[in-house]
Amino acid sequence: MKRIKPDQPAYAVIAQTLRTRIKRKKLLPGTVLLEGSLASIFGLGSRSPVKQALQQLQEEGILSRFDGRGVVVGSGKGPILRLKLTRALLGLHENTPDISRVPTWQKIYHPIERELIFRSAFGRFRVNELELSHHYKIGRTVAHEVLTQIQSTGILMKGGNTQWFTVPLDAKRLDDLYALREVIEPVLVGHAALKIPPDTLNAMKQRLLNAMKRYPKVEPSDLDALENDIHITCLEYGQNVEMLEALKRTRCILIVGKHIYGTEMPYPKIDPFFEEHLRIIEVLAKRDSERARRAMLTHLQTARKKVANRLVAFRKSHSMAPISFVTEA
């Protein structure tokens, strides 16, 4: 089995495990996969990572829906095989990396990120690391790891005496972050146009087209994956480490959209970014660096207005319920 990176999220571990077993013909075409069974095998209390992994593999064409419950390996047009799924069948032996290798901080990261990105939309708040550990019943070291990871996205900053504070995502900061993105991202995507593999672009395009067909019946995680395709994966092919590092603190913009869309606020009637992303992918496929730069800049300029309006609407319609580890700064 391909080695699993220790910092991979749970859904990625599951997807990689299934992908490998299917490739090695250990899971044959027609085999039914059920979310509940897989969650139990991987020792998960929630089916969400399994659902996300299965969705990803469907988008890759590895799994398909069929008339019954669950999904099947392959196209689903042949005989259906209802086998008892076991750890052995999935290749999860004693020395095989499995879900238990996912760091503890990643297993609780999502809800904490959500609480803090929402508060950053309302201003500066103090975050107590010790209270965080008590609230989620985790060790102080794990709590520190979570906050350090969130800091890298631009949501938090470290104050004196080891205190943490949310960085206000106000109108001025949003403009500053987009100004940075509008300088760097077009340059990176222009460089990426000559290096990004066609197969990678084809997979991105297929995920995008699938989402366009289903919209608005999509999950927030689907939109987040599409954002990551363009604004993280594509840009990494620009191969400029310093520029990529500078962009990390702007990720709070993508994160706030991930948590607001489809949960706190309804999806807009018109798709949020599909046509703009499709345009970028199409010019990248043509290896046209200059048009890729222009397409990215146009997309960011449009997105700046959308995100600003979304945050204004969010502040007007929401208030933050008290939580033990966040206090007024």
16 and 75 in a single domain? The answer is: yes
Is 80 contained in some domain?
yes
How deeply is 12 buried, as exposed, middle or buried, from its count of CB atoms within 10 A (0-12, 13-18, 19+)?
middle
Question: Of 115, 139, 168, which closes a domain?
Answer: 168
205 and 299 in a single domain? The answer is: yes
276 and 296 in a single domain? The answer is: yes
Range of the domain at 145: 104-168
C-alpha distances (whole Å) from 11 to each of 4, 7, 8, 95 are 12, 12, 8, 20
Q: Of 302, 316, 45, give the one whose Cα is nearest residue 178.
A: 302
Question: Of 101, 132, 157, which closes a domain?
Answer: 101
The CATH number assigned to the domain holding 155 equals: 1.10.10.10
Is 320 contained in some domain?
no
115 and 130 in a single domain? The answer is: yes
What CA–CA distance (Å, rounded) separates 255 from 120? Answer: 11
Instruction: Find out whether 292 and 190 touch, Cβ atoms under 8 Å.
Output: yes
Is 327 contained in some domain?
no
20 and 53 in a single domain? The answer is: yes
The predicted pLDDT at position 6 comes to: 42
301 and 198 in a single domain? The answer is: yes
Is 328 contained in some domain?
no
225 and 279 in a single domain? The answer is: yes
The predicted pLDDT at position 165 comes to: 97
178 and 283 in a single domain? The answer is: yes
179 and 162 in a single domain? The answer is: no
The predicted pLDDT at position 1 comes to: 39
Is 323 contained in some domain?
no
142 and 235 in a single domain? The answer is: no
Is 126 contained in some domain?
yes
The predicted pLDDT at position 46 comes to: 66
Catalogue the long-range contacts made by 197-201 (C-beta closer than 8 Å, 24 or more residues apart): 198/285, 200/233, 201/281, 201/284, 201/285
**Total number of domains in the chain:** 3
- Helices 48-59 and 10-23 pack at an angle, to 10 degrees, of 50
Is 291 contained in some domain?
yes
Q: pLDDT tens per residue, the chain (329 residues)?
A: 344 444 456 777 888 889 989 998 999 999 999 888 898 888 776 677 788 889 889 888 899 988 777 899 998 888 899 888 888 888 876 544 445 555 778 778 888 999 999 999 999 999 999 999 999 888 899 899 999 999 999 999 998 777 999 999 999 999 999 999 999 999 999 999 999 999 999 999 999 999 999 898 888 888 888 999 999 999 999 999 999 999 999 999 999 998 998 788 888 887 679 999 999 999 999 999 999 999 999 999 999 999 999 999 999 999 999 999 999 98
The predicted pLDDT at position 97 comes to: 47
Is 319 contained in some domain?
no
